[in-house]
Each structure stands twice: as C-alpha cells, then as structure tokens.
Amino acid sequence: MGGAMVSGWTKGRNPVVPLKNLLIVDPQPGEAAQTVIDTGAAHQAAVSKKIASAKYVLLAIKPQSFAEAGEQIAQFLPAGAIVISVLAGTTMASLERTFPDQICVRCMPNTPSSIGKGITGFYAPGQLEAEPKAHITELLQAGGEVIELSSEAQIDAVTAISGSGPAYFFHMVEALAAAGQSIGLSEEMAGKLARQTLIGAGALLEKSGQSARELRRNVTSPGGTTQAALDVLMQSVGLPPVIREAVTAAYRRSQELGKEKP
C-alpha cells in the first residue's frame, strides 16, 4: 500500500511530493515503490539518522513489524514530525506510545489509490493544526477521494467497506466468470465478459450521476432475464446478507487487531 501511495504522490508534472524530497526506507521494495526509486527517489534498506529532518513519515509496514520498526524510527525522528499510519489495527494509543513527541494520524486507503481512483478515510487528533491537516489531505487526494473521520473507531468500518472492498469486487469478477464457464463459455471469453462488465458498470455509476439503485432499475425489465437473476440475488438468503456477513467479519477482525498486543 505504501508503494501505491508514493506512486500517486510523485506522478505528473506537478507532483504532490517531488522525488528529491522523498526517501523510501524498505529492505525489499515492492514493484510500485521500486518504480519510484528507479525514477529518482532516494532509497535505503534500513532506518538511519537520514530521517532526522523528516516532516512527514508514511508508516506502511506489516502491523506485526510495528513494535521493532517503530522503535527504530522513533529514535531518529524529530519532535513535531507527523506520522501517517496505514497499519490496520494499530491504534492511536499504540502509535502515540511509540511516537510520544510526534503527531500521529491514522488512515485507511485502498488499492485503487495507486491509479488515483481510490478513497481514503483518515482520523487526525484535535491538536493537528489546519496547515498540516490540509497538506495531509492533499497527499491523500493524490490517490482519489478523501473522507475525514470524526472518531478513530470509524477506521474499523472504513477498513471493512473500502479498505477490503476491492477484494470483494475482484471476487465478484471471479465468481461471474466461473458462472459463465458453467453455462458453456470458454475461460477466456467468460473472464473477458465478467471483467469488462464490472469495469463498465463502475464507470457508468461514476459518470451517470445516478444512484446504484436507479441504474439497477434501469437495466431490469419486469419478467426479463435480469429480473430472473435479481430474484435470486435479492432473496432473503441472497447477496445482501452474504455481503453484510462478510463486512461484519472484516469489521470485527479490524477491531480484534486493535486489541491484540504488538
């Protein structure tokens, strides 16, 4: 996720973060981060005193690595620096224990942020001043839309809907393609039909200005093929309760991660 975010920050003629101002610390950069490094961003494999002048730090590591990595970062990070965390389940209390002299912000982006089509929810403490908050918002907007949350607790809900949501969408493509094969289409044809149908439907939802409900009704003729399918999907044991159960599972897991000791 960190690589996707910095990729968005450095794109275009007027990037939000110029390459000369960016240092990526990662022993094994992923593809997106490596591309940014190859383009000109500084890179080092381990934390060092080079971060002593940092004003902003994007913390995008595995939550289970936070205890060790956070301690390493904290020993060099200047007081007043802003730590932007995308770590699922790592609470503000945990962040502030590790970074007592810095200001911590939690955010939950999603993978479409890598192409500027994502959405990020973020929570900032009350002491964060307007200017750095505006800059954080600008950073996050490089990945798409941004929502400021009124409480840290909302991070868990955002995680369950938009943070994990792209995987639900991708699985829907898989399921639709598999269904196509079950009624006689080739794997290639079924995959192409499923993929482009969902891509096109998403684009229509974005561009039309109509709600999902309105668009669904527009394509549904009484007694037609779409109605036959929706009669299955919308029954009491159909798609809505399955989606609710899945989202609830993600929500509860996010809450559990916040309670687990690092």
**CATH code for the domain in which residue 10 is found:** 3.40.50.720
CA 6, distance to chain mean position in Å, is 13
Q: What are phi and psi of 180, to 5 degrees?
A: -60, -40
Give pLDDT, residue 126: 84
Is the pLDDT at 223 greater than 70? The verdict is: yes
Q: What is the mean pLDDT of the chain?
A: 93
Which regions of the chain does DSSP assign to beta strands (E)? Answer: 23-25, 42-44, 56-59, 82-85, 103-108, 118-123, 144-148
Do 139 and 197 belong together in one domain?
A: no
Return the amino acid letter for 170.
F
- Per the domain annotation, does 223 fall within a domain? yes
- What is the arithmetic mean of pLDDT over 138-159? 94
Strands 144-148 and 82-85: unpaired
DSSP label at 29? -
Please tell me the pTM assigned to this model. Answer: 0.88
Is the pLDDT at 167 greater than 70? The verdict is: yes
| Per-residue pLDDT band at 11 (split at 50, 70, 90) | confident
pLDDT in tens, 50-100: 999 999 999 998 888 898 999 999 999 999 999 999 998 899 999 999 999
CA-to-CA distance for 54 and 40, rounded, in angstroms? 18
| Alpha-carbon separation of residue 152 from 39, 85, 104, 125, 258 (angstroms) | 36, 12, 12, 9, 11
Do 16 and 43 belong together in one domain?
A: yes
HSE-CB of 198 using CA atoms within 13 angstroms? 16
Do 143 and 180 belong together in one domain?
A: no
**Number of domains making up the chain:** 2
Give pLDDT, residue 47: 92
Range of the domain at 73: 2-150
Give pLDDT, residue 153: 93
Give pLDDT, residue 261: 57
- Which of the listed residues 150, 180, 198 is the one where a domain comes to its end? 150
